[in-house]
Structure 1
Amino acid sequence: MKKTYLLLFLLFTSFSFAQTHYDSDQFIVTLKDISSKTFDKDSTANALVIYESGKSFVGQGDYRLHTKFKHKIKILNKDGFDKATVKIYLYKTKSSSEKVKNILATSYNLVEGTNKVITRKLDKSNIYEEKYNDNYTIVKFTLPNVKVGSVITYSYETVSPFMFNYKSWHFQEDIPKLYSEYKTSIPANWIYNIKLIGYKPLDINTRDIEKNCLEGARGASSGCSLSHYAMKDIPAFIEEEYMTSDTNYKARIEYELKTFQGFDGVTHNYTKTWETVDDELRKDPNIGKQLSKSVDLPKLLPQTVYSIEDNLERAKSIYHYVQTHYTWNGDYKIFKDVDIKDLIKTKSGNVSEINILLHNLLKESNIDVKPVLISTRNNGFPTKIHPVISDFNYLIVQANINGKSYSLDATDKFLDFAELPFRCLNQHGRLLDFKKGSNWMDIKVENISKVFYNVDLKANDEFFSGSVQSKITGYHALNKRKDYFPNSQEYFDALEKRNENLEISNIEIDCEKETSSEFKESYDLEYFVENSGDNVYINPFLVTFFNENPFKLQERTYPIDFGYKDTYYYALKLNLNEKYELVEAPEDFKIVLPNNTGTIALSTKQVSNELIMTFRINFNKALYAQDYYPYLKKFMSKIVEIQNNSIVLLKKIG
């Protein structure tokens, strides 16, 4: 491949000044793009998009969707080499397919010790095509001569016959971007639902009208809506704990065809109303038809289950019977292969089969119930502005008893009545009512999940002895039950190995059944500490709530979603037993998150010959906006610091 040397001159800056600056205003590569070595705003970035643009329009004559792409990327380290391999996914059907043309790609490198630049262009023989699946083909190429410090550019154009699939634009990805823009031209014949996703606002958002941009037969023509969207200084999207699907948060624009009107005046509607969807679901063999099936209570349930007079207790009894006698096979199917007759026969089925059977049994026993379509946390939020049935992947049941609503899911044998799996805590669901019409409902956890520990210690000559008692509720208790009931011995072994300075004995678990709302545990312990002369240093936290700070990003552009509110409480009573005197203890303090949305409070005091310490953590919200991230990051850091570094200094007496 031929090598050419170029000398690139800059208008505004010298080589030395350009070490950490980039030209994000244009696709053309400049010397400062190549000579810059780092990206100060994100020292962890492997690569950086300096500039990228897209332009979509309908071609005159072929009436196909054309999209032109341009990308300029800086390779910052070896882990960024994967950005030099480009994959273009082309949609296809049996009768038609998308095409790509005009692929151009070039790598730029600085000759060490000079201002000269060497460029290498992509040879067309190194462009490959392969089948991805039945719906997509991949066109792939890798830029040549890529090194740490390289700048790469590539451009291409796609041509698509599928106007229903107007090109979406992803502003945010796994590397930072300095500038990303998308320009669109949409003829008035096509009307789309346009959705901006993510929490980063647009820096440019303009619209204009172009008259007679598209001509049809017999002198017909159409105007076009012109849009210009752009974002600047876009941080990399990096997944972190306490989030739902990344599809909820990555900044992008998506399109869904709503209406098409031909030049002959005929209109085709593609986006449906909820009234239409409700009617379709009512007739659907996997949803409405299954929900309407009658069930024989005496045949399917013991009389002791369905004959309970109290409505709530009867509902609980039926729920627990389905929960324990039918097994979820792990399949999330809700619109395919749903048949409660098969479930009744095999005792194993998918989400819809189990929860529709629960729905029908409750309905037959005169409980007011309705199905609810939801999307799980890892599946993304369902679209609310118009029906997109494919957004949903799960079905639960709402029971209305004595003026109160209960959300039910019988797929998990450890769930208490009205307790949903954590995977279902995804903000909203669509409540189906085939008589009055469906509507949106909030999926909220009303109760606070709690963790309480009480530690009672007494000083002896060589060690401290005492006991620990805990009471755990809500989702924390659910996790405990799932750890304990399948293998209690493994649970005990893990508990005994949790702290190498402790010897644990006489473990007792107070939890009657797998669905108990509380999990209580108690055990005796001996705490061995190292003496330093007459002094003893003790970390008073024999149990820690957070071993490390889960929040490590420089910037987080999406919310912190815990799923539920919770509180943690730790109380220590240390009896010095006239063997030690207190020299030093942690100082009292209190930290409050903005708007009183969370609290840390530590208190220590000495009463007679006892040290009493309490530590409380409150998260008063289940969902925190991304603006809270720097506060929560410091909040968590302080919690970890307190638990790991709090020291009580004692001195031996006599």
Structure 2
Amino acid sequence: MCRSLIFTIFLIGLVNLHIEAQELIYGRYTTKEIEFEAVDFEPEADAVVLGEISTNKIVIPELESTVLRRIKILKPSGIQHGTVTIPFYSGSNSYVRMTKVKAQVTNIVDGTPKTLTLKEGDFFTVDLGNGWKEIRFTLPDVQVGSIIDYQYSKIDKRLTILEGWVFQNQIPTLVSIYSIDIPSELNYRVLSQGEQTLKHKFDWKKDGTYKWILKDLRSFKEEPYMSSPSDYYEKIEFQLAGYGFRGSNSVFADWPELAKHIVNIESFRSYIKPNKTYTQKLQELNVVGDNQLQMAKAIYDYMLENYEFDGYVGILPTDHIKQLLETKKNSRPELNLLLLAYLNQHGIEADPVLISSKGNGRSNIIDSPFADQFNQLILTVMADGKSYFVDVTNKEVPFGYLPVDFHVEKGFLIKDKESRLIPIQVNHRSGIQQSVNFKLEGGNDWVSDATIRFLDYDGIRMDRLKEKNGEEYFQKETMGFNMDQTQGFSFSSRNDPRKVVDMKWQKTFSTNGEELLFIEPFLYSRFSENPFQADSRTFPIDFYHGFLDNFNTSIDIPDGYELDDFPEDISVALTNGTFSFNYKVTAMENTVKINSTIDLKQHVLPAILYQDLKYFMEIVTSKLKEPVVLRKTTLP
């Protein structure tokens, strides 16, 4: 049989198949797929997922799933995608079983399809630990133009929370399809995440089949100021409505009912309602303070000094209060609940709050009593009529501040009948205040006296960098000092009444008699370069916290010099008003004063603002580097 005839047979019945309209069939390709060469919306891509489909059906007591993924190699660097890994969580009791794994690669050689199929011995299962496993395989003869198909089936015994589906990949995806058949006796709530997924109107049939079809998905790549990538995946999950907590068959109708169930867990109750023996032990702590806030801070500091965080996190304590009082080392829920117990026994109101921290993959908390939405336990503390959010596991974070990855929208307050979702609002006034004075000393030596104050979260950041790297490295790498020109550096830090780090130093440089002197007025900025260089942006921009930076510089114009040039005034802001920049120069007879402010009111910005933000940041970073120019008017 001639090659042209073989190729014709290969395409029979497939010419009319269109990947956007028809679902995939393993090993069968359309003309469009064979001829596909570049992704319109991501032309630099070296490979593409032509299509993928996850077909799911609940057959009580199991979820049966089949996944097919088709990849095409577009450039030589994309050949790496011929090595495939499929991670899955099996658990200690083998909750998940992988079956029927198969894979093939097809190349078109002289107009003829040539397919190589992997055998059973080509697939390897690797134990990754902690219940995770991974199937690995490498396809042979992968080259530019290769089409890779692989398919597997999976049996999952967990029906309370279904694994769901992530629609994006590390390479662009033309179409991603997820369908699930749910029997009428089960009722699931859909947990959606990602801009497209939230807007998507899924197909539904009366027989209980639901389908999502998402198209033209960009590759998932980490971008600057993207604090937690997993929070932005386009994905769906399913949670059984009427959640049974920790294997219980109980159905929780509302948040107070879930809270009651949690509080009644023995280990949890030992902190919330300690018995007389432990009440007396807690009250033995001698706390000094003129008001509740001072007392709360004293107890917080006592915990930091006397108890150690073991690195484990979660929403429930596994140990009774007795163990923690003896060992003085445990996980986040135990330590925060012990702080709660100390506070309550000293007349200060404190309550547990469950949150989903950044990176937990739960950016959208739904208003339904599902505890598995959360992964961390913190406290809300009421002192002198004011509310504070607190976590006592980090010695670098003072009372009233949370780690920046805990700056989330909502949390679950556990407080009897008042249990509910509440906003997580950490009140702070972070920012950088810089004051610099330039003056000429000794004829040719210019001296700048600088004072910079870092407030709240910026102070915490500077404290951490100095402690981690040491003072010399901190000065060189963080502050960008030329050590030959810098003298008299001092660093001071305090936590009360707020976090403040003060730095002072003097910088000297010689003019060497040049006719023109270029003086950059600002010695330090959080934005030395524009961090946004990509042409486009897929995911939201997270600056971790808001801030207000204020720069003030005064340049004394000595005898023998005159002002030759200086930056123009400017005032710009993003279209939504959440990010603004002001720059103003006041030129007087013997002095030039420069004032600039950078004000970020909202720390997470949507990707739709990226082009405006990129342009805005180019103005900011360029403007902060513009020099004031002095001209020498008299010869020495």
**TM-score band w.r.t. shorter chain:** 0.7 to 0.9
User: Could you tell me which residue of structure 2 aligns to residue 214 of structure 1?
Assistant: none
Q: Which residue of 1 aligns with 2:15?
A: none
The question of whether the paired residues in 2 share the 8 Å contact of 1:492 and 1:507 is answered with no
SS in 1 for 2:359: helix
In the superposition, relative to structure 1, how do residues 539 and 32 fare at CA in structure 2: closer, same or farther (>3 Å)?
Answer: farther
1:128 to partner: Cα distance: 3.6
Show CA shifts across 1:338-359 (max 9, x none).
3433333344333223222221
Q: Distance in 1 between matches of 2:605 and 2:117?
A: 48
CA contact (8 A) 2:4 2:112 kept: no
Which of 80, 100, 105 pairs up with 1:107? Answer: 105
Aligned length: 612
Q: 1:106 aligns to what SS in structure 2?
A: strand
CA distance in 2: counterparts of 1:243 and 1:288, whole angstroms: 38
**Residue in structure 2 matched with residue 547 of structure 1 by the alignment:** 528
Partner of 2:69 in structure 1? 71
Aligned to 1:18: none
Instruction: Judge conservation of contact 1:459–1:579 (CA < 8 Å) in 2.
Output: no
CA distance in 2, matches of 1:579, 1:350: 66
Q: CA deviation at 1:624?
A: 2.0
8 A contact 1:243–1:559 mirrored in 2: yes
Aligned residue among 452, 475, 478 for 2:433 = 452
CA contact (8 A) 1:502 1:527 kept: no
CA contact (8 A) 2:283 2:345 kept: no
Q: Post-superposition shift, 1:490? A: 3.9
- 1:185 is matched with which residue: 177, 181, 188? 181
* Alignment match, 2:506: 524
**How is 1:281-430 mapped onto 2 (pairs within 5 angstroms)?**
281-293=262-274, 294-296=278-280, 300-302=284-286, 305-306=287-288, 308=289, 310-381=291-362, 383-430=365-412
Quote how far apart the aligned CAs of 1:453 are: 0.6
- SS of the residue aligned with 1:511? strand
SS of 2:106's equivalent in the other structure is strand
Return 5+ residue gaps in structure 2 as ranges. Answer: 12-17, 244-248
State the alpha-carbon separation in 2 of the partners of residues 497 and 401 from structure 1: 37
Judging changes above 3 Å, is the alpha-carbon distance between structure 1 residues 427 and 70 closer, same or farther for their aligned structure 2 residues? same
Q: Which amino acid aligns with 1:233?
A: D
Matching of residue 467 in structure 1 with residue 466 in structure 2: no
Partners of 1:58 and 1:512 in 2: CA distance: 58
Q: 1:77 offset after TM fit, Å?
A: 3.4
Alignment check: 8 A CA contact 2:184 2:208 kept? yes
The amino acid that maps onto 1:446 is N
Given that 1:207 and 1:225 are in contact with CA atoms closer than 8 Å, whether structure 2 keeps it comes out as no
| Alpha-carbon offset, residue 202 of structure 1 | 6.8
The DSSP-based 3-state class of the residue aligned with 1:377 is coil
- For residue 94 of structure 1, report the CA deviation from its aligned partner: 4.5
Q: CA deviation at 1:507?
A: 2.3
RMSD value over aligned CA atoms? Answer: 3.5
**Which residue number in structure 1 is paired with residue 615 of structure 2?**
634
Give the Å deviation of 1:151.
2.2
Equivalent residues of 1:108, 1:119 under 8 A apart? yes
Change (3 A) 1:154 1:555: same
The one-character-per-residue Cα deviations of 1:514-550 (angstroms, maximum 9, x if unpaired) are 885222222222134677x522333333223213333
Is the 2:489–2:504 Cα contact (8 Å) retained in structure 1?
Answer: yes
The alignment partner of 2:208 has SS state of strand
Give yes or no for contact 1:205–1:227 (8 Å, CA) kept in 2.
no
What are the superposed Cα offsets for residues 576-626 of structure 1, whole Å, 9 maximum, x if unpaired?
202322222222212111121111112223211222222211101122223
Asked whether the 8 Å contact 2:104–2:116 carries over to 1, the reply is yes
Distance 2:478 2:54 in 1: 59
Q: How many angstroms does 1:188 deviate by?
A: 0.9
Q: Deviations over 1:23-79 (max 9, x none)?
A: 6555443455344443342244332112222222357xx986443333221223344
**Aligned in 2, Cα 1:131/1:494: closer, same or farther, shift over 3 Å?**
closer
Q: Mean Cα displacement is larger for which, 90-99 or 459-468?
A: 90-99
CA distance in structure 2 between the aligned counterparts of 1:510 and 1:166, rounded to whole angstroms: 52
| Deviation digits for residues 106-139 of structure 1 (CA, Å, limit 9, x no counterpart) | 323344xx65544333344423445455756544
Alignment partner, residue 219 of structure 1: none
Displacement of 1:418 after TM fit? 1.6
Are 2:632 and 1:652 equivalent residues in the alignment? yes
Distance in 2 between residues matched to 1:574 and 1:149, nearest whole Å: 63
The AA in structure 2 aligned to 1:175 is I
- Report the equivalent of 2:493: 511
Equivalence for 2:118: 122
5 Å matches for 1:208-247?
208-210=204-206, 224-247=207-230
Contact 1:568/1:618 (8 A) holds in 2: yes
Measured in 1, the distance between the counterparts of 2:489 and 2:483 equals 17
- Of 90-99 and 476-485, deviating more is 90-99
Matched to 2:464, the amino acid is K
Q: Distance in 1 between matches of 2:479 and 2:92?
A: 58
Question: Is the partner of 1:477 in helix, strand or coil?
Answer: helix
SS in 2 for 1:362: helix
Which letter maps to 1:406? Y
Q: Give the residue type in structure 2 aligned to 1:648.
A: V
Q: Distance in 2 between matches of 1:63 and 1:497?
A: 60
Match of 1:609 among 572, 587, 590: 590
Corresponding residue SS for 1:286: helix
Q: Choose the corresponding residue for 2:518, options 517, 537, 549.
A: 537
Kept in 2: contact 1:372–1:397 (CA 8 A)? yes
Structure 1 residues 92 and 332: alpha-carbon distance in aligned structure 2, compared to 1, 3 A threshold: closer
> Which whole-Å CA distance do the structure 2 matches of 1:162 and 1:321 have between them?
43
Report whether the alignment pairs 1:249 with 2:245.
no
Instruction: Report the 3-state secondary structure (helix = DSSP H, G, I; strand = E; otherwise coil) of the residue aligned with 2:81.
Output: helix
* TM-score of the two chains, using structure 2 as the length reference: 0.85
Instruction: Give the aligned residue type for 1:48.
Output: V
- Residues 270 and 131 of structure 1, relative CA distance in 2, 3 Å threshold: farther
The alignment partner of 1:247 has SS state of helix
Inter-partner Cα distance in structure 2 for 1:466 and 1:631: 35
Report if aligned partners of 1:166, 1:256 keep a CA contact under 8 Å in 2: yes
CA contact (8 A) 1:322 1:410 kept: yes
CA pair 287-518 structure 1, distance change in 2 beyond 3 A: same
Q: AA paired with 2:450?
A: V
Cα pair 1:240 1:550 within 8 Å, conserved: no
User: Cα distance, 1:430 vs. partner?
Assistant: 1.3
Q: Which secondary structure state, in structure 2, belongs to the residue aligned with residue 39 of structure 1?
A: coil
How far apart are the structure 2 equivalents of 1:186 and 1:287?
A: 35
In the aligned structure 2, how far is the partner of 1:568 from the partner of 1:281? 43
Q: How far off is 1:250 after superposition?
A: 0.4
Q: CA deviation at 1:225?
A: 1.4
Change (3 A) 1:7 1:557: same
| Amino acid across the alignment from 1:180 | S
What is the identity, as a one-letter code, of the residue corresponding to 2:632?
K
Q: Is the 8 A contact 1:258 1:269 kept in 2?
A: no
Give how far 1:255 is off.
1.6
Return 126-135 or 597-606, whichever deviates more.
126-135
Conserved? CA contact 1:534–1:652, under 8 Å = yes
Aligned twin of 2:246: none
Q: Give the letter for the 1:387 counterpart.
A: P
CA distance in 2, matches of 1:96, 1:472: 50
Give the distance between the partners of 2:387 and 2:199, measured in 1 at CA.
43
Q: For the structure 1 residues 208 and 370, does the alpha-carbon distance in structure 2 shift closer, same or farther, using more than 3 Å as the test?
A: closer
**2:14 aligns to what?**
none
User: 2:601 maps to what in 1?
Assistant: 620
Secondary structure, aligned partner of 2:238: strand
In structure 2, C-alpha distance between the alignment counterparts of 1:243 and 1:496, rounded to whole Å: 21
Query: Structure 1 residues 117, 563: closer, same or farther in 2, change over 3 A?
Result: same
Residues 205 and 230 in structure 1, CA contact (< 8 A), matched pair in contact too: no
Offset of residue 80 of structure 1: 3.0
2:422 to 441, 449, 462: 441
For the residues of structure 2 that align with 1:203 and 1:10, how far apart are their CA atoms? 38
